Amino acid sequence: MSGSPTPHLAARFISKSFAGVQALRKVSFDLNGGEVHAIIGENGAGKSTLIKIMTGAVKADSGEIAVSGRIVPEMDPATARALGIAAIYQQPSLFPDLTVAENIALALESGHPFRRVRWRERNQRAAELLRRVGGGTDPRRQVSSLSMPEQQMVEIAKAIGANAKVLIMDEPTASLMHRETETLFGVIASLRREGVGIVYISHRLEEVSSIADRITVLRDGETVATFQRAEASRQQLIALIAGRTDVGSFANREIRDGEVVLELRGLSSRGGLRNIHLALKAGEILGVAGLVGSGRTRLAKALFGLAPADSGDILLRGRFVHIGSPEDAIRLGIGYVPEDRRQHGVILDMPISANVSLANMKRVSRHGFLHPSEEQHLAEQYRERLRIKASSVDADTSTLSGGNQQKVALARWLAIDPLVLILDEPTQGVDIGAKSEIHKLIVELASGGVAILMISSELEEILAISDRIAVMHGGAIRGILPREQATQENILSLALEDRIA
């Protein structure tokens, strides 16, 4: 009579503290071959610390790690890779100045200083791995030119190419639309059939419930529960994660009939925008949906002057304006929270106060000299207004959770009193509680008269708080759906449209 299978990976009674703060307290977790075991919990619950310990990036204070039944006395990144453990983190760890193929080669190739590079074979292997994960990225492209979702696909291709036995995925669908997510799930299903064990971390409870075999909930550094996916409903999961169930929809909120603040007439660019016509009203939340590469972020960058349009007109409150740089956009009252908050949204090594004032230095300086007391006062206002959880506004932004970092990024642009606020993936990678707070904040801003353009890959989010939804494909707007016509099916039918309108 055979016993239970030996887990591919087991963490037993893991504890870890940082500067006196207990990040993990006797947490146990195991993963079988061919299994998807999800870890869920709010930011700060201990998920990231646990996976860093399992990959050797951080050393536990106590407890043990076992791989295929054998205890690993000293786990470090090199040992983890040798044992077949690979991780795909929420923030891609790619070299921006190298090509896609070169980044993949760095992870997979070995050799000596005199080895000749076979470029054709390298590019072909990279292309094959990218096709396997459903990515059509040219392996010769420089990584700095890729969007966040495209970078995520490269990371997944790297891990698959390494023939990992244990694959840790940290928010792998955070910036993917429905089709890319379905493709990823197909890759996961294939890996499971090959016996790969997958640790799956996500804040999207619907996909966790659909893909995971088992679910472990962490809260405040401790294991709350481990169970089969069929044993808990979404509401039960929320209660286990946060002890509350107030994540709701704002679809019934009253829509204000405000003035047209921003109007686009035939906006086009060599970067991929094609004849964009759009009107955004004061107090309106206009959602922008579309697949990866549909032009959503290109539109945001054009409106903020990061990648100016080549033709077409932009009108602000009925007046023709030129936006050739972010400085122009800020002067006109346009704010932009980008999708990659850690790289472009906030400066992690700067305190909260400096991040908040960065876009409006005139407000906290006199005659070219910074007034620290005014900067701190401004930051305190937004710390209280946005309920930013921090010891003080002097704390480095890097010490905050993902949700609170996103609030700091929002505070920077609220400090300019914007007419138009562009939000690109505003809740990407934040937990259920923080997402609910950010949604409430967005609705409050709209109710106060701010015109909001919100880009999101998460259809549930788009449907929950948008007044209208513009769907993009191939750099063009395929249709704009009023709230009463907005369904997942209608959005996807436009987003997947291959015919040129």
- Is residue 370 located within the same domain as residue 437? no
Structure tokens at 334: 């346009």
Q: Looking at the structure, do residues 422 and 410 belong to the same domain, yes or no? A: no
Contact 268, 309 (CB under 8 A): yes
295 in the same domain as 236: no
d(CA 450, CA 443): 10
Residues 76 and 165 in one domain: yes
208/264 same-domain check: no
**Domain check: are 206 and 326 in the same one?**
no
Task: Identify the helix (H) or strand (E) that includes residue 108.
Answer: helix 100-108
Residue 387 has a CB neighbour count (10 Å cut-off) of 13
Rounded Cα–Cα distance for residues 53 and 18 (Å): 13
Q: Based on the domain organization, do 407 and 430 belong to the same domain?
A: no
Tens-level pLDDT at each residue, the chain (501 residues): 345 678 999 999 999 987 677 889 999 999 999 999 999 887 668 888 999 999 999 999 999 999 999 999 999 998 998 899 998 877 778 899 999 999 998 877 766 566 677 888 889 999 988 888 777 789 999 998 887 778 878 888 888 887 789 999 988 876 676 777 888 888 889 889 989 999 999 877 888 888 999 999 998 889 999 999 888 787 788 778 765 444 455 555 666 678 999 999 999 998 789 999 999 999 999 999 987 678 999 999 999 999 999 999 999 999 999 999 999 999 999 999 988 766 677 888 888 988 888 877 777 777 778 788 888 888 888 888 888 888 888 888 888 877 788 888 888 888 888 999 999 988 876 767 778 888 888 998 999 999 999 999 888 888 889 999 999 988 999 999 998 888 887 887 788 654 333
Examine residue 59 and state whether it is found in any structural domain, yes or no. yes
Name the nearest CA neighbour of 38 among 242, 196, 211, 176: 211
Q: Name the domain boundary from 191, 208, 242.
A: 242
What is the value of pTM for the model shown? Answer: 0.60
Around Cβ 263, how many Cβ atoms within 10 Å? Answer: 19
> Is the distance from CB of 378 to CB of 359 less than 8 angstroms?
no
* Alpha helix stretches (DSSP H) within 340-456: 352-357, 372-385, 402-414, 432-447
d(CA 218, CA 24): 9
> Domain boundary at 365, 390, 417, which?
417
Query: Residues for the chain: how many in total?
Result: 501
Let me know whether 176 and 315 are in one domain: no
Q: How many other β-carbons are positioned within 10 Å of the β-carbon of residue 484? A: 7
- Is residue 487 in some structural domain? yes
**252 located within any domain:** no
Strands in 433-500 per DSSP E? 451-455, 468-473, 476-482
Residue at 214 is within a domain: yes
Q: Is residue 247 part of a domain?
A: no
Q: Which of 83, 98, 104, 96 is nearest to 159 (CA)?
A: 104
d(CA 339, CA 457): 11
User: Which of 377, 396, 417 delimits the end of a domain?
Assistant: 417
Nearest to 479 by CA among 487, 490, 489: 490
Per-residue pLDDT at 131:
85
Asked whether 155 and 137 are in contact (CB, 8 A), the reply is: no
Per-residue confidence (pLDDT) for residue 496, from 0 to 100: 67
Are residues 428 and 412 both part of a single domain?
A: no
For residues 426 and 411, membership in a common domain is answered with no
337 CB neighbour count, 10 Å cutoff: 23
Q: Is residue 275 assigned to a domain?
A: yes
CA distances (Å), 413 to each of 219, 237, 356, in order?
Answer: 32, 34, 8
Note the pLDDT of residue 341. Answer: 67
- Look at residue 451 and tell me if it is in a domain: yes
Task: Give the burial string for 142-151 (b: 16+ CB within 10 Å, else e).
Answer: ebeebbbbbb
Residues 50/199, Cβ–Cβ less than 8 Å: no
Q: Tokens representing 242?
A: 């946060």
Taking each continuous run of H as one helix and of E as one strand, the counts in the chain are 16, 22
Which residues span the domain enclosing 398? 347-417
Question: Are residues 413 and 427 located together in one domain of the fold?
Answer: no
Closest Cα to residue 468, out of 260, 174, 179, 178?
A: 260
Sorted by sequence, the CB contacts under 8 Å of residue 120 that are 6+ apart come out as none
First-last CA distance in the chain:
64
Decide if 342 is inside a domain. no
In the chain, how many domains are there? 3
Q: Which long-range contacts (CB under 8 A, 24 or more apart) does 252-258 make?
A: 253/443, 253/447, 255/283, 255/284, 255/467, 255/483, 256/281, 256/282, 256/283, 256/284, 256/446, 256/447, 256/449, 257/281, 258/282, 258/283, 258/284, 258/449, 258/451
Q: Which pLDDT does position 247 carry in this prediction?
A: 45
Q: What is the largest CA-CA distance in the chain?
A: 83
Find the helix packing angle between 100-108 and 148-161, rounded to 10°.
30
Residue 61 sits in a domain of what CATH number? 3.40.50.300
- 364, 370 Cβ separation under 8 angstroms: yes
Radius of gyration of the CA atoms of the chain, in A: 23
Report the C-alpha gap between 234 and 212 in whole angstroms.
Answer: 13
Angle at 222 between CA 221 and CA 223, to 5 degrees: 135
For residue 230, how many C-alpha atoms fall within 13 Å in the half-sphere facing its CB? Answer: 0
Which pLDDT score, from 0 to 100, does residue 501 have?
A: 35
Return d(Cα 7, Cα 264) in angstroms, integer: 57
Check whether residue 403 and residue 451 sit in a common domain.
Answer: no
Tokens of 189: 């299903």
Q: How many angstroms separate the CA atoms of 318 and 331, rounded?
A: 16
Give the pLDDT score at 369.
80
